């Protein structure tokens, strides 16, 4: 028979004291946010409140500069400023001087953005509807890691539905922070909000998990014009202007605040390339139908009717979306804002396959040029596939295949490659400016 005694009574207290005495440990990150030509934001989470410090330098041996946030936190956000453009740094995160969670160097590095307008080879990884936290997601990730082993991305985009099924903090851990540990710590991530992310987030108030876990520009810290909100924003990298829109939870009307900001932002940019990304595709016949008045509350139609005219008038080159769990890639298009049955020859700027070794690359005038054509891509198969008719007339190719998109841009040429979960190239095309 077990008898109670002083030691047995003290056991819970001893265990509590021991747990409190254990040093903090990192349970999320580090991950890179809000990259500019002279700064970087590092974020991570610890299991208990502590100071947050970053040690950094040009090499692992010279990573002796230290910066920190105020107070003690579990979710740490540290901005490093005064950096050189287009320069690699090594870093470590810690809780106090001489108590660091990692050793600088190896995969704990980041590179600042080049000065806006600079011509520099740039690789971008694009994934959509990826946050399933299952073997499909991991296979797509691993196929990209293998494909890009010798050339990792300079930045990457998430097209929404980043964490299924309601975008909770736990689901973000399983769908984003656990699967992409290696990439998050050395390549800045730029996301957009999907309908499943919106299950735990609110754009008008900029509250909830999505807005808690990301640090996104509201005051044009990385280029473009201030949007005043993390729901939609823009940034520059090299000779590329990126625009992120919120197709889920923000006013999508042609005269709304987002549309007004978009017009002004497009008018202000002088970058060679304009890429726009959001969640709900304007053209799709996959697991969603862009002709349906009721699909997703009319969001697909809203984006096509109200937002595409602004983008095309501003000279957009590439529009990326997810939501449909497939891959669909259009011809070079312009001016199609109605139903697919109303598309005609005038909407096809180039009806070839866009391949340099096929019908030839899609050709466009240099610089932002109104109504010279854009390619529209649905890349929502990075975590699952769901079929559909896959017969939209805008599309050169439609695939019910898992995969991800790789964009390589250098000077006047953009090369896009879609690889499946086995690392096989299933589509490719080129846009060339002259």
Claim to verify: residue 83 and residue 217 sit in the same structural domain: no
Residues 115, 257, 315: CA angle, nearest 5 degrees: 50
* Pair 90, 134 in one domain: no
The verdict on residue 3 lying in a domain is no
In the prediction, which pLDDT does 97 show?
85
- Mean of pLDDT over the chain: 96
Q: Which of 111, 145, 174 is the last residue of a domain?
A: 111
Out of 86, 111, 136, a domain closes at 111
Contact present, 322 and 381 (Cβ < 8 Å):
no
Residue 15's pLDDT band, with cuts at 50, 70 and 90, is low
Q: Kindly state the helix (H) or strand (E) to which residue 326 belongs, with its residue range.
A: none
**Which pLDDT belongs to residue 391?**
98
Q: Is the domain of 106 the same as that of 126?
A: no
Q: Are residues 100 and 175 in the same domain?
A: no
**CATH number where 68 lies:** 2.60.40.10
CATH number of the structural domain spanning residue 261: 3.60.21.10
What does the pLDDT average to over 269-291? Answer: 98
Mark whether 348 and 275 lie in a shared domain: yes
**Both 104 and 235 in a single domain?**
no
Residue 10 lies in a domain: no
Q: Is the pLDDT of residue 3 over 80?
A: no
Does residue 100 share a domain with residue 152? no
> Does a structural domain hold residue 2?
no
301, 407: one domain: yes
As for how many domains the chain has, the answer is 2
* Rounded Cα–Cα distance for residues 245 and 115 (Å): 24
Tokens of 329: 């890639």
183 part of a folded domain: yes
- Residue 12 falls inside a structural domain: no
End position of a domain, from candidates 81, 111, 141: 111
Residues 6+ apart with CB under 8 A from 53: 66, 67, 68, 78, 93, 94, 95, 96, 97, 100
Q: What is the mean pLDDT of residues 366-393?
A: 97
Are residues 76 and 162 located together in one domain of the fold? no
Domain that holds residue 414: 122-433
**Mean pLDDT calculated for residue range 145-164:** 97
Question: Residues 248, 148: one domain?
Answer: yes
Residue with tokens 């806006």: 116
pLDDT at residue 17 greater than cutoff 60: no
Q: Is residue 11's pLDDT more than 70?
A: no
Q: pTM to 2 decimals?
A: 0.95
What gap in Å lies between CA 252 and CA 53, rounded to an integer? 40
On whether both 105 and 126 belong to a single domain, the answer is no
In a domain, 15, yes or no: no
Residues 160 and 218 in one domain: yes
pLDDT at 1: 44
């Amino acid at each position: 028979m077990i008898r109670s005694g002083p030691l047995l009574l003290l056991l819970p207290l001893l265990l509590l004291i021991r747990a409190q005495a254990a040093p903090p440990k990192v349970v999320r990150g580090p991950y890179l946010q809000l990259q500019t030509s002279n700064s970087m934001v590092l974020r991570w989470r610890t299991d208990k409140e502590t100071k947050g410090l970053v040690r950094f330098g040009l090499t692992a041996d010279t990573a002796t500069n230290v910066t920190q946030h105020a107070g003690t936190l579990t979710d740490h956000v540290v901005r490093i400023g005064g950096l050189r453009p287009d320069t690699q740094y090594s870093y470590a995160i810690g809780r106090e001087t001489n108590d660091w969670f990692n050793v600088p160097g190896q995969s704990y590095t980041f590179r600042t953005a080049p000065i806006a307008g600079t011509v520099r080879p740039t690789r971008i990884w694009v994934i959509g509807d990826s946050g399933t936290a299952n073997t499909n997601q991991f296979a797509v990730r691993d196929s990209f890691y293998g494909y890009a082993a010798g050339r990792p991305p300079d930045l990457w985009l998430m097209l929404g539905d980043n964490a299924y099924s309601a975008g909770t903090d736990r689901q973000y851990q399983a769908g984003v922070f656990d699967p992409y540990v290696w990439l998050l710590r050395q390549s800045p991530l730029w996301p957009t909000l999907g309908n499943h992310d919106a299950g735990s987030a609110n754009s008008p108030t900029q509250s909830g998990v999505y807005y808690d876990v990301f640090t996104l520009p509201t005051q044009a810290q990385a280029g473009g014009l201030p949007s005043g909100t993390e729901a939609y924003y823009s940034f520059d990298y090299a000779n590329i202007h990126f625009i992120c829109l919120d197709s889920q939870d923000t006013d999508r009307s042609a005269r709304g605040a987002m549309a007004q900001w978009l017009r002004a932002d497009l008018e202000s940019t002088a970058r060679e390339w304009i890429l726009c990304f959001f969640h709900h595709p304007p053209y799709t016949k996959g697991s969603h139908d862009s002709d349906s008045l009721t699909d997703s509350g009319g969001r697909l139609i809203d984006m096509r009717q109200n937002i595409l005219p602004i983008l095309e008038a501003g000279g957009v080159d590439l529009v990326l979306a997810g939501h449909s769990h497939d891959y669909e890639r259009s011809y070079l298009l312009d001016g199609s804002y109605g139903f697919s049955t109303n598309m005609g020859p005038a909407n096809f700027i180039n009806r070839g396959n866009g391949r340099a070794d096929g019908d030839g690359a899609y050709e466009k005038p240099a610089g932002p040029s109104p109504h010279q054509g854009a390619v529209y891509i649905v890349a929502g198969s990075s975590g699952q596939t769901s079929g559909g008719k896959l017969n939209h007339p805008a599309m050169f190719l439609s695939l019910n295949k898992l995969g991800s998109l790789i964009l390589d841009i250098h000077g006047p040429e953009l090369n896009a490659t879609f690889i499946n979960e086995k690392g096989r190239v299933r589509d490719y095309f080129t846009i060339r400016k002259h």
